[in-house]
Amino acid sequence: MEPACYFAIVLDGARFWVPGSGEPPDINQSTVQGIQAIEIYRGPA
């Protein structure tokens, strides 16, 4: 089984969480009403 591959999370221009900095946040505790956009970059940006 391959290890999970997580994305870095940036909130209002500030790094909120990056892979390797501990357990990822539980997104099930968040609400979608506050999300205005999601961007995913598959390569170096």
Task: Note the pLDDT of residue 37.
Answer: 80
CA dihedral 28, 30, 35, 39 (to 10 degrees): -50
Task: Note the pLDDT of residue 44.
Answer: 67
Task: Note the pLDDT of residue 45.
Answer: 57
Q: Which residues contact 16 (CB under 8 A, 6 or more apart)?
A: 9, 10, 25
> For the chain, which ranges sit under pLDDT 70?
1-2, 44-45
Rg (CA), the chain: 12
